[in-house]
Amino acid sequence: MNVVIHLPNGEFGHEIWELTRIFFPGREAKVLHPITGDMAAQDCLAADFLLTVWYSYVNDYEIEVHTKLENKTDKPLKYNIHRFSINEHIKKQPIKEKREIKKILGRCIYDALAEHTGIYPSWGTLTGVRPLKVVHNLMDDGFDDMEVLDILTSGYRVKRDKAELLTGTAGNQRHILVENSDDMVSLYIHIPFCPTRCLYCSFPSVVLDRKSDIADKYLDCLIMELDQAVNELVQRGIMIQSIYIGGGTPTALTYSQLERLMGAVDLVMDGRKIKEYTVECGRPDSLDLDKLSILKAFGVNRISINPQTMNQETLDKIGRKHTVQQVISGINMARYIGFDCINMDVIAGLPGENAEHMEKTMASLASLNPENITVHTLAVKRASRLKKSLEEYPLAGDDTAEEMLRVCHRWIKEMDMIPYYLYRQKYMVGNLENVGYSRRGKECIYNIQMMGEKQTIWGFGAGAVSKIYYSSEDRIQRLPNAKDINEYINRIQGTIHRKKAIIDSML
Closest distance between ligand SF4 and the C-beta of residue 362, in Å?
A: 20
Please, where are the H alpha helices in 298-414? 312-317, 324-337, 355-368, 385-388, 398-414
Per-residue contact track with ligand SF4, 139 to 178, x per CB under 6 A?
----------------------------------------
Judged by CB, which is closer to ligand SF4: 198, or 492?
A: 198
Closest distance between ligand SF4 and the C-beta of residue 290, in Å?
A: 21
Looking at residues 281 to 300 of the shown chain, list those that interact with ligand SF4 (rule: CB under 6 A). 282-283
Contact 70, 49 (CB under 8 A): yes
Identify which range of 126-134, 190-198, 218-226, 446-454 contacts ligand SF4 by CB under 6 A.
190-198
What is the Cα–Cα distance from 302 to 346, expressed in whole angstroms? 17
Please, where are the H alpha helices in 118-199? 131-140, 145-150, 160-177
Q: Applying CB under 6 A, which of residues 91, 197, 321, 439 lies at the interface with ligand SF4?
A: 197
Judged by CB, which is closer to ligand SF4: 350, or 405?
A: 350
DSSP helix/strand/coil, 503: helix
Give residues with Cβ within 8 angstroms of 490, minimum separation 6.
Answer: none
Identify which range of 150-158, 246-254, 335-343, 344-352 contacts ligand SF4 by CB under 6 A.
246-254
Closest among 147, 144, 129 to 174, alpha carbons compared: 144
Residue 205 interacts with ligand SF4 (CB under 6 A): yes or no: yes
407-411 long-range contacts, CB within 8 A, separation 24+? 407/355, 407/358, 407/359, 407/362, 408/346, 408/348, 408/358, 408/362, 408/373, 408/375, 410/362, 411/362, 411/363, 411/365, 411/366
Judged by CB, which is closer to ligand SF4: 16, or 305?
A: 305
Closest distance between ligand SF4 and the C-beta of residue 501, in Å?
A: 31
Q: Applying CB under 6 A, which of residues 55, 188, 203, 458 lies at the interface with ligand SF4?
A: 203
What is the Cα–Cα distance from 475 to 470, expressed in whole angstroms? 5
Identify which range of 163-171, 199-207, 401-409, 416-424 contacts ligand SF4 by CB under 6 A.
199-207
Report the chain's C-alpha Rg in angstroms. 24
Judged by CB, which is closer to ligand SF4: 207, or 363?
A: 207
Closest distance between ligand SF4 and the C-beta of residue 198, in Å?
A: 3
Residues binding ligand SF4 (CB under 6 A): 194, 197-198, 201, 203, 205, 247-249, 282-283
